[in-house]
């Protein structure tokens, strides 16, 4: 049976930390689906189509990775695509506590769901979409020096797209 995993998030925007988790998870499963989910409590900087393009460019070379958008519960999407594994990245202790709670609830809703926690690589522990959004808001992507700074946070393939947005 094919081992299908889902890596779900808002990815606003997709970072090097996300890409690191995708690369490592894609080596563990037959198929990895990176799925953009809307969170009603969040206000997004990038629209869903832009986020999808950013991720597709970043994962282009990973043959077993698919990018998708969905609404509703992650476990409902997992059931639809017959995925049994949910991949989650962990940066620190606060993430562990939060993610364990989500994993427990997902297990209640979908007993076949196994959550796989991958620790962030040390160089990505402080990388977050929130930091990238703040850098973009202050115009860091507008010049060559700013783009060098941005390259520490997001995949090279997406800097051009982010530069044209802000």
Positions annotated as catalytic residues are 18, 42, 91, 129
Other residues' Cβ atoms within 10 Å of the Cβ of residue 42: 9
DSSP code at position 63: T
For residue 57, the surrounding DSSP H or E stretch is: helix 48-58
Spatial contact of 86 and 117, defined as CB atoms under 8 Å apart: no
User: Would the CA dihedral through 157, 13, 53, 144 be positive or negative?
Assistant: negative
DSSP code at position 124: G
Distances (CA, A) of 36 to 10, 100, 111, 131, 164: 5, 21, 23, 19, 21
74 φ, ψ (degrees, to nearest 5): -60, -40
């Amino acid at each position: 049976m094919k081992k299908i995993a889902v890596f779900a998030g808002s990815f606003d925007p997709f970072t090097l930390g996300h890409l690191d988790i995708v690369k490592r998870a894609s080596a563990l499963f037959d198929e990895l689906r990176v799925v953009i989910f809307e969170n009603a409590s969040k206000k997004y900087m990038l629209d869903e189509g832009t986020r999808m393009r950013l991720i597709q460019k970043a994962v282009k070379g990973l043959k077993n990775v698919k990018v998708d958008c969905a609404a509703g519960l992650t476990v409902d999407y997992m059931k639809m695509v017959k995925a049994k594994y949910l991949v989650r990245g962990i940066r620190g202790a606060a993430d562990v506590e939060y993610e364990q709670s989500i994993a427990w609830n997902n297990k209640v809703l979908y007993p076949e769901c196994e959550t796989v926690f991958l620790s962030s690589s040390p160089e990505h522990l402080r990388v977050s979409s929130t930091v990238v959004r703040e850098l973009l808001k202050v115009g860091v992507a507008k010049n060559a020096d700013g783009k060098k700074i941005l390259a520490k946070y997001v995949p090279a393939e997406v800097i051009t797209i982010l530069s044209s947005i802000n």
